[in-house]
Amino acid sequence: MTKRLIQHGNSTALIIDKPILDMLNLTPETTFQLSTDGKNIILSPQNEKFQEKDILQSLEKINKKYGKILKKLSE
């Protein structure tokens, strides 16, 4: 299947056909993880559980690295 990007306001969009959305059980509310290997765009549905897990891991790293400074700033 070949697709073209379309202009959507000030942005560019890629339309995903309904049969593909249905096959992958995707909705307009689905959140995606967008990445690249330098040549290809990789678009993966992001499970909300994983999203929360990623946020918590990031917060843990930030607290570990900057926890003392953030505590001083809050005083």
- Give dist(CA 67, CA 59) in Å, integer: 10
Domain positions in the chain:
6-74
Cα–Cα distances in angstroms (integers) from residue 67 to residues 28, 45, 56, in the given order: 37, 32, 14
What's the whole-model pTM score?
Answer: 0.52
Confidence (pLDDT) at 49: 63
pLDDT digits (tens, 9 = 90+) for 2-35: 999 999 999 999 999 999 999 998 988 888 889 9
